[in-house]
Chains A and B, each alone.
Chain A
Amino acid sequence: MEMALAPETLARWQFGITTVYHFLFVPLTISLAALTAGLQTAWVRTENEKYLRATKFWGKLFLINIAMGVVTGIVQEFQFGMNWSDYSRFVGDIFGAPLAFEALIAFFFESTFIGLWIFGWDKLPKKIHLACIWMVSIGTILSAYFILAANSWMQHPVGYRINEAKGRAELTDFWQVLTQNTALAQAFHTLTASFLTGGAFMVGIAAFHLFRKKDIRVMKTSLRLGLVTVVVAGLLTAVSGDTLGKVMFKQQPMKMAAAEALWDGQDAAPFSIFAYGDVSKGHNSVELSIPGILSFLANDDFSSYVPGINDTNKAEQAKYGPGDYRPIIPVTFWAFRWMIGFGMASFAIGLLGLWLTRKKFLLPQHLRVGEDEVPRLVLFRNKALSPKLSKLYWLVAIWTLGFPLIANSWGWIFTEMGRQPWVVYGVLETRHAVSPGVSQGEILTSMIVFTALYAVLAVIEVKLLVKYIKAGPPELTEADLNPPTKIGGDSRDADKPMAFSY
């Protein structure tokens, strides 16, 4: 009980809860901003109404998500000071800078232009209004980059020295912090995974409408856009994941050994598919693995040596003094597998969908009843199978909509838990990072408050999403088709109701 409620444990739980919750919304925000911008660009270029209806539909879902992303992000910035004041004192010189950059360069951008986009439909000419959503999209990506650069510094500290007199780390090369390979690989991996998330979200919802045979024209376009996004982003996520993995094998050998439950270093190390470990004894009782693959993942060489948990622990003890430098192995091991498993599954379903919806496999136009009929998948000569097959695919797509969200969450749990007991790898241990002046009661209070609030907000958010998803794309009005020609709106419309109001 003592340990379970120790301030450090509570602060870690709170950080985990708030961060994972925040990160449910971030990837959707990043990808839906760009996808909405793409659809709106298609509208401006082609004037095909289905693109405007799609823009309004996906834009609405994007707004519901970004609202939650923004408000839960506020907690992230403040909890470093609230729960982790000794961390803040020790690394503020380095870690604070990218956070301040994020606010000044990215966050102002994003939040100002989002206001312009939401309320600007009847105040801005078409192209300027379109530019606003692109600005939002750029803002979300920049924002992610600065945060990931800050996080990468915790994974692999560079460009600093320790000032013994002041008892803190000080920045010596900011450019290195922003451009070190950890930051670039992590940004690449997180951004591609974000697009995988948004793509799968789009595919699932489009499939839902096609399943119900509603808004077919808009949803066919959305389905294809989503599928292409899933496949391209999925491939890049795998490539970037491999790149990031190789970086981590070099920089955080303990994390990767733990990810594999590889107790003792060996040549031609196997990739473990399933393992049941006994931490106290330091070996796995049951294991299923493929030889050589881990060595290949780490070093591009099937027979190379990969250090294990026990060797790394000994090496770290020699370097940093006595102690246990192992993270919680089962969490790291399974988090790594869930991340890859759910991510890959989502990619596979996207790939299958893209293959199935090729023109060749669709019921040809002349055999369909109307233009608004859902195209059926015809894989075999047996046409009776085709409606069943189509339905099955739509159902699979709907039920796997959230797979990348699960993968993202486990990805962060893996990244952060795998670094323990360090908060800054090799530099500062987590137990030395918590606020010494904050009481157990205070942290417990805030944890209960945030968790309860987040739970209530989750219910509200899901209900709203479901409502707007079911409602489908809106019908267009006169105002939608006649955007203003002047900034600030046309004077003839002075007393007209606003196109968008709270």
Chain B
Amino acid sequence: MHLHDVWFVLIAVLWTGYFFLEGFDFGVGVLTKLLARDRLEKRVLINTIGPVWDGNEVWLLTAGGATFAAFPEWYATLFSGFYLPLLVILVCLIVRGVAFEYRAKRPEDTWQRNWETAIFWTSLLPAFLWGVAFGNIVRGVKIDRNFEYVGNVWDLLNPYALLGGLVTLTLFTFHGTVFTALKTVGDIRERARKLALKVGLVTALLAVVFLVWTQIHGGDGASLVALVVAVAALVAALAANQIGREGWSFALSGVTIVAAVAMLFLTLFPDVMPSSLNAEWSLTVTNASSSPYTLKIMTWCAGIATPIVLLYQSWTYWVFRKRIGTQHIAAEAAH
């Protein structure tokens, strides 16, 4: 196995980690409008992800940095090609981060309401747009012989990619709903479980269509296995939710994300960004990658750092393992 193949896998792992982790905090962001009945419940929802969302987001920055280092051509084509959608995502991530940190810094009702509205939209839009981006990567876009993207922004808004966007949006929302059921107590927990069923069914419907479409378009045996695992895990997550096994339900919705992302990357390999104009102009793991020396250094770094990161991030989840409810919001904060 070549190092550039290893790095293809590692980048898939980083994106998987990102979607698994930030997936549920995007979902919780969407739930602030979908599930929370009042201000107090919104606060409970935001607090379930308070200690961890920032660490989750670093998975994206690492995926970006690793792509830059391991596949510079891919990084250059992708980020300059998907310019405007990326701009929207960046604006959302900026506003979202500030919203979490600044919302409670002033007591005024309008101040807090505005930031809460911001949290909803800036969670919803990236959750949708990442799916659109990956839909386009897998489907192939207009790349010329110099590896430059020559399409325009409307080319990116094709039915397959838009469906991909709806899949990530609903899947992340489902993932966030079962996370909420796992992390809260009281009335909100019960309602989260009821909502999980509805969101889960919509997700299943959209995901099956999208994944089967992907399989027909460019799948092989391995991607078929991933597809089956993704769908089976989604069904099992719904079942676990119905019988009240919240931990299992969350783990299984995570497996759905892992398998679905794995399927996309399996379909992609050995391309990293296929050209829809000419197969010879596609970016592949070989023509887009860095030199073996750089990849070797990066492999050492990732090999040592990743287990440590996983260790202390897991510890964070353990420290904040207690469920929270409306009774945990201080009276003076409950305006």
Does A67 reach chain B (CB closer than 8 Å)? yes
Q: Are A442 and B148 in contact (CB under 8 A)?
A: no
Residues of B within 8 A of A81 (CB): 64, 68, 75-76, 78-80
In the complex, which residues 135-168 of chain B have their Cβ closer than 8 Å to any Cβ of chain A? Answer: 146-150
Q: Are B80 and A438 in contact (CB under 8 A)?
A: yes
Q: Are B105 and A464 in contact (CB under 8 A)?
A: yes
In Å, the complex CA distance between A497 and B324 comes to 9
Which chain A residue has the least Cβ–Cβ distance from B144? A437
In the complex, which residues 302-335 of chain B have their Cβ closer than 8 Å to any Cβ of chain A? Answer: 302, 305-306, 309, 312-313, 316, 318-322, 324, 327-331, 333
In Å, the complex CA distance between A459 and B230 comes to 46
Residues of A within 8 A of B47 (CB): 498, 501-502
Scoring B residues 71 to 83 as 1 if CB is less than 8 Å from chain A, else 0, what string do you get? 1110111111101
In Å, the complex CA distance between A111 and B75 comes to 24
Residues of A within 8 A of B90 (CB): 74-75, 78
Q: Are B55 and A108 in contact (CB under 8 A)?
A: yes
Which of B95-103, B172-180, B216-224, B259-267 contacts the other chain? Answer: B95-103
Does A215 reach chain B (CB closer than 8 Å)? no
Q: Are A67 and B69 in contact (CB under 8 A)?
A: no
Q: A85-B80, A93-B290 are in contact. Are A115 and B316 (CB under 8 A)?
A: yes
Scoring A residues 136 to 149 as 1 if CB is less than 8 Å from chain B, else 0, what string do you get? 00000000000000
Q: Are B319 and A104 in contact (CB under 8 A)?
A: no
Does B34 reach chain A (CB closer than 8 Å)? no
Instruction: Return A407 CB to nearest CB of chain B, in Å.
Output: 26
Q: Are B43 and A108 in contact (CB under 8 A)?
A: no
Q: Are A96 and B68 in contact (CB under 8 A)?
A: yes
Residues of A within 8 A of B277 (CB): none
In Å, the complex CA distance between A166 and B148 comes to 16
Which of A118-126, A251-259, A280-288 contacts the other chain? Answer: A118-126
Q: Are B80 and A437 in contact (CB under 8 A)?
A: yes
Q: Are A107 and B321 in contact (CB under 8 A)?
A: no
Does B52 reach chain A (CB closer than 8 Å)? yes
Scoring A residues 100 to 129 as 1 if CB is less than 8 Å from chain B, else 0, what string do you get? 111111011101111110111001100000
Does B205 reach chain A (CB closer than 8 Å)? no
Residues of B within 8 A of A442 (CB): 83-84
Q: Are A103 and B62 in contact (CB under 8 A)?
A: yes
Instruction: Return A285 CB to nearest CB of chain B, in Å.
Output: 44
Q: Are A72 and B84 in contact (CB under 8 A)?
A: no
In Å, the complex CA distance between A438 and B151 comes to 11
Scoring B residues 57 to 72 as 1 if CB is less than 8 Å from chain A, else 0, what string do you get? 1100110111111111
In Å, the complex CA distance between A92 and B294 comes to 10
Residues of B within 8 A of A437 (CB): 80-81, 148-150
Q: Are A494 and B322 in contact (CB under 8 A)?
A: yes
Q: Are B294 and A94 in contact (CB under 8 A)?
A: yes
Give the total of B residues in contact with A, Cβ under 8 Å: 79
Instruction: Return B6 CB to nearest CB of chain A, in Å.
Output: 14
Which chain A residue has the least Cβ–Cβ distance from B152? A439
In Å, the complex CA distance between A100 and B299 comes to 11
Q: Are A72 and B297 in contact (CB under 8 A)?
A: no
Which chain B residue has the least Cβ–Cβ distance from A104? B305
Q: Are B79 and A115 in contact (CB under 8 A)?
A: no
Residues of B within 8 A of A47 (CB): none
Q: Are A89 and B72 in contact (CB under 8 A)?
A: yes
Q: Are B293 and A172 in contact (CB under 8 A)?
A: yes
Q: Are A495 and B328 in contact (CB under 8 A)?
A: yes
Q: Are A112 and B312 in contact (CB under 8 A)?
A: yes
Residue among B79, B297, B309 facing the most chain A CB atoms (10 A cut-off): B79
Residues of B within 8 A of A70 (CB): 54, 97
* Chain A interface bracket (under 10, 10 to 19, 20 to 34, 35 or more): 35 or more
In Å, the complex CA distance between A168 and B102 comes to 43
Q: Are B62 and A107 in contact (CB under 8 A)?
A: yes
Does A188 reach chain B (CB closer than 8 Å)? no
Q: Are B54 and A111 in contact (CB under 8 A)?
A: yes
Q: Are B61 and A74 in contact (CB under 8 A)?
A: yes
Residues of A within 8 A of B43 (CB): 501-502
Instruction: Return B301 CB to nearest CB of chain A, in Å.
Output: 6
Does B93 reach chain A (CB closer than 8 Å)? yes
Q: With contacts defined as CB atoms under 8 Å apart, how many contacts are there between chain A and chain B in the complex?
A: 252
Q: A97-B297, A437-B148 are in contact. Are A114 and B54 (CB under 8 A)?
A: yes
Does B244 reach chain A (CB closer than 8 Å)? no
Does A260 reach chain B (CB closer than 8 Å)? no
Which chain B residue has the least Cβ–Cβ distance from A68? B98
Q: A96-B290, A116-B51, A464-B105 are in contact. Are A488 and B86 (CB under 8 A)?
A: no
In the complex, which residues 112-155 of chain B have their Cβ closer than 8 Å to any Cβ of chain A? Answer: 146-150
Instruction: Return A289 CB to nearest CB of chain B, in Å.
Output: 44
Does A366 reach chain B (CB closer than 8 Å)? no
Does A95 reach chain B (CB closer than 8 Å)? yes
Q: Are A88 and B76 in contact (CB under 8 A)?
A: yes
Residues of A within 8 A of B322 (CB): 488-489, 494
Does A325 reach chain B (CB closer than 8 Å)? no
Other-chain residue from B46, B83, B98, B146 in contact with A502 (beta carbon distance below 8 A): B46
Q: Are A67 and B101 in contact (CB under 8 A)?
A: yes
Q: Are B87 and A89 in contact (CB under 8 A)?
A: no
Does B225 reach chain A (CB closer than 8 Å)? no
Q: Are B320 and A119 in contact (CB under 8 A)?
A: yes
Q: A71-B94, A108-B313, A445-B87 are in contact. Are A99 and B293 (CB under 8 A)?
A: no
Does A170 reach chain B (CB closer than 8 Å)? yes
Instruction: Return A169 CB to nearest CB of chain B, in Å.
Output: 10
Q: A74-B93, A103-B62 are in contact. Are A112 and B316 (CB under 8 A)?
A: yes
Q: Are B72 and A93 in contact (CB under 8 A)?
A: yes
Which chain A residue has the least Cβ–Cβ distance from B57? A111
Does A435 reach chain B (CB closer than 8 Å)? yes
Residue among B71, B102, B103 facing the most chain A CB atoms (10 A cut-off): B102
Which chain A residue has the least Cβ–Cβ distance from B56? A111
Residues of B within 8 A of A97 (CB): 69, 294, 297-298
Q: Are A74 and B94 in contact (CB under 8 A)?
A: yes
Q: Are A488 and B83 in contact (CB under 8 A)?
A: no
Instruction: Return B315 CB to nearest CB of chain A, in Å.
Output: 8
Other-chain residue from A99, A171, A446 in contact with B83 (beta carbon distance below 8 A): A446
Q: Are A99 and B150 in contact (CB under 8 A)?
A: no
In Å, the complex CA distance between A108 and B21 comes to 13
In Å, the complex CA distance between A163 and B313 comes to 40
In the complex, which residues 452-473 of chain A have their Cβ closer than 8 Å to any Cβ of chain B? Answer: 453, 457, 460, 464, 467-468
Which chain B residue has the least Cβ–Cβ distance from A494? B322
Residues of B within 8 A of A103 (CB): 58, 61-62, 64-66
Does A416 reach chain B (CB closer than 8 Å)? no
In Å, the complex CA distance between A437 and B145 comes to 13
Q: A497-B331, A501-B333 are in contact. List 5 more A-B contacts (CB 8 A).
A: A78-B90, A118-B51, A123-B320, A438-B83, A497-B333
Listed by A's residue number, 13 A-B pairs whose Cβ atoms lie within 8 Å are A72-B94, A82-B80, A85-B76, A92-B72, A96-B290, A100-B66, A104-B306, A108-B58, A111-B58, A446-B83, A460-B98, A497-B329, A498-B47
* Minimum-distance CB pairs A-B, first 10: A92-B72, A81-B79, A96-B69, A96-B68, A67-B101, A497-B330, A85-B76, A85-B80, A100-B65, A103-B62
